[in-house]
């Protein structure tokens, strides 16, 4: 029997996005506030995922050993450190979230059967790395508030109520939606970035948050005049909106996760070949 286990760890550290070969103005243009001297800090949360067959003792790996390896190789060295100077890897490639995750993988791989490294810089930004050379995935989390009604226009109120329950009531209802947008790309060997984070956030705001926030989706978003704005359809439409602008940033839209409520969320998996003209694959995962 095979299993994936996850071990959580954390460390607090500072870093600065600054390339000495660039001028101050060039660094500010490229990295924004992150270029400020002497740097800034984060409370990082690390999840180390291991894959393997259960042994005679019912374990993939002895967690005492896993804990010791993570402490010796990672947290004891990074906690309260200035990341730009703590490891030689960060002299060549800046310690962005995605590059830190990559280097952590490299340092743990000789000791543990890794399947994923997930590093949270803060609750609304994290990176995943799975050992694919310079490829990583970066996730941005945001939110918007909107109302919707679930009803097919060709059906009566009674028929819609039978299908959608209370969600078919004529005045609709609202949610505080939480949106996670994951993009995959190659980590730049000098900047450590797989995508311009500011540009990515601007795209999400422009295409999704601004038009969707405080709207009645059925009436304010033309797409939903004919399409029932279920969580699944909203997530799929968001993926359609974001796919091309993210490709133009040099990354690929990997996943859109929409959390409608603590009890209801869905995920759209969007990966195709980079720069492929193929449409988004309609793969929907529901969590109720």
Catalytic residue numbers read: 167, 214, 260
For every residue of 135-177, DSSP letters joined together read EEEEEEEEEEEEEE----TTS-HHHHHHHHGGGG-TT-EEEEE
Distance separating alpha carbons of residues 233 and 227, to the nearest angstrom: 8
DSSP type of residue 229: -
DSSP type of residue 277: -
What Å distances lie between residue 80 and 13, 104, 119, CA to CA?
A: 5, 16, 16
Distance separating alpha carbons of residues 140 and 125, to the nearest angstrom: 5
Residue 5: exposure state from Cβ atoms within 10 A (0-12, 13-18, ≥19): middle
Cβ neighbour number for residue 149 with a 10 Å cutoff: 20
CB 13 within 8 A of CB 82: yes
What Å distances lie between residue 182 and 43, 128, 280, CA to CA?
A: 21, 10, 14
Alpha helices by DSSP H, listed for 5-145, are 24-31, 63-70, 76-78, 83-86, 89-92, 97-108
């Amino acid at each position: 029997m095979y299993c994936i286990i996850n071990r959580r760890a954390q460390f607090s550290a500072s870093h600065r996005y600054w390339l000495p070969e660039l001028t101050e103005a060039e660094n500010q243009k490229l990295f924004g506030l992150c270029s400020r001297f002497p740097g800034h800090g984060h409370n990082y949360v690390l999840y180390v995922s291991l894959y393997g067959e259960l042994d005679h003792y019912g374990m993939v790996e002895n967690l005492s050993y896993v804990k010791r390896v993570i402490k010796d190789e990672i947290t004891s060295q990074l906690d309260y450190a200035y990341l730009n100077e703590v490891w030689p890897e960060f002299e060549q490639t800046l310690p962005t979230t995605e590059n830190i995750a990559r280097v952590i993988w490299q340092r743990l791989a000789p000791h543990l059967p890794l399947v994923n490294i997930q590093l949270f810089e803060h609750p609304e930004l994290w990176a995943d790395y799975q050992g694919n050379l310079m490829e990583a995935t970066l996730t941005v989390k945001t939110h918007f508030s909107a109302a919707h009604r679930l009803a097919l226009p060709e059906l009566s109120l009674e028929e819609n109520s039978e299908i959608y329950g209370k969600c078919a009531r004529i005045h609709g209802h609202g949610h505080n939606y939480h949106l996670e947008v994951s993009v995959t790309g190659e980590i730049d060997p000098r900047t450590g970035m797989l995508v311009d984070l500011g540009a990515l956030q601007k795209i999400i705001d422009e295409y999704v948050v601004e038009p969707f926030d405080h709207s009645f989706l059925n009436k304010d978003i033309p797409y939903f005049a004919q399409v029932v704005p279920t969580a699944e359809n909203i997530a799929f439409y968001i993926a359609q909106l974001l796919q091309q602008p993210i490709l133009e940033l040099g990354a690929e839209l990997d996943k859109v996760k929409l959390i409608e409520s603590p009890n209801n969320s869905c995920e759209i998996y969007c990966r195709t070949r980079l720069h492929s003209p193929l449409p988004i694959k309609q793969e929907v995962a529901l969590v109720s």
